[in-house]
């Protein structure tokens, strides 16, 4: 029996209209829709994005659980289980489409699965369907050009070590701070210290019904922010 194809499918940042034609085509044809999920990161948003365009009735939906932890052992186990579940379906001749918010090769769990699936099933074939990343969509929502002429753009997790973080803020023209929710007040402090607070825009749940875009970051101090949020600093 031929083995199935594994697709990493980006479904965009939240607005179902930002799902690409190619993503819809691949998802419609897939036998299995794999959904990476964690308790905190509402990855089922990815599923809600595709539901309007793809009939899931005759498909297997395979939930892949990834705990939000830095514990390497726990992560290795979860990734191994997910890769094994995917490899089983591929071996049975099924095409598996693993959906990812935004783009599948940009801060995504899917990229960890590629080598693990290939380790279990070296003959597996993998295709990536790129998606509109939250960075592009958030810049659009905030009407903030990411880079012009010879400007330099940095994208970093806001959880970065403080001193390196300061250097990046000093060195680049535009800085996108991902995963900002848990360290927002610290970020705000650093932006104030560097005189960049007024150059920043906050974007939360971009493309979703409850999207928020704001330039007054001070009013967000102490607030419990959504995991799907970022800050773009444009000097």
Regarding 174 and contact with ligand SAM (CB under 6 A), the answer is: no
Regarding 230 and contact with ligand SAM (CB under 6 A), the answer is: yes
d(CA 4, CA 96): 7
Among the listed residues 13, 66, 82, 175, the single contact to ligand SAM using CB under 6 A: 13
Q: Which stretch binds ligand SAM (CB under 6 A): 46-54, 102-110, 114-122, 215-223?
A: 102-110
User: What does DSSP assign to residue 32?
Assistant: E
Regarding 228 and contact with ligand SAM (CB under 6 A), the answer is: yes
Where would I find the H helices in 95-161? 110-120, 134-141
Closest by CA to 184, choosing from 203, 199, 168, 170, is 203
Q: Which residue has the closest beta carbon to ligand SAM?
A: 102
The two three-digit tokens of residue 113, written as one number:
């699965």
> By C-beta, is 134 or 144 nearer to ligand SAM?
134
Query: Do residues 78 and 69 make contact, with C-beta atoms less than 8 angstroms apart?
Result: no
- C-alpha angle with apex 103: 25 to 75, nearest 5 degrees? 115
CB of 225 to ligand SAM, least distance (A): 10
Q: Which stretch binds ligand SAM (CB under 6 A): 28-36, 55-63, 106-114, 188-196?
A: 106-114
Regarding 79 and contact with ligand SAM (CB under 6 A), the answer is: no
d(CA 172, CA 12): 26
Among the listed residues 37, 59, 91, 107, the single contact to ligand SAM using CB under 6 A: 107
């Amino acid at each position: 029996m031929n083995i199935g194809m594994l697709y990493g499918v980006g479904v965009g940042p939240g607005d179902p209209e930002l799902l690409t034609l190619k993503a819809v085509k691949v998802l419609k044809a897939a036998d299995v829709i794999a959904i990476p999920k964690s308790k905190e990161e509402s990855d089922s948003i990815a599923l809600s994005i595709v539901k309007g365009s793809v009939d899931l009735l005759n498909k297997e939906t395979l939930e892949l659980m990834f705990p939000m932890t830095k514990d390497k052992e726990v992560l290795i186990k979860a990734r191994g289980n997910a890769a094994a579940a995917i490899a089983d379906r591929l071996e049975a001749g099924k095409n598996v489409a693993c959906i990812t918010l935004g783009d599948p090769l940009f801060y995504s769990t899917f990229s960890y699965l590629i080598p693990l699936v290939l380790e279990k099933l070296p003959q597996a074939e993998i295709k990536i369907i790129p998606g509109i990343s939250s960075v592009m969509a958030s810049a659009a929502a905030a009407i903030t050009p990411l880079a012009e002429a010879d400007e330099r753009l940095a994208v970093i997790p806001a959880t970065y070590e403080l001193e390196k973080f300061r250097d990046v803020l000093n060195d680049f023209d535009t800085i996108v701070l991902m995963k900002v929710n848990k360290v927002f007040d610290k970020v705000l402090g650093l932006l104030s210290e560097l005189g960049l607070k007024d150059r920043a825009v906050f974007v939360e749940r971009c493309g979703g019904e409850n999207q928020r875009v704001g330039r007054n970051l001070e009013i967000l101090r102490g607030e419990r922010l959504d995991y799907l949020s970022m800050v773009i600093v444009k000097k």
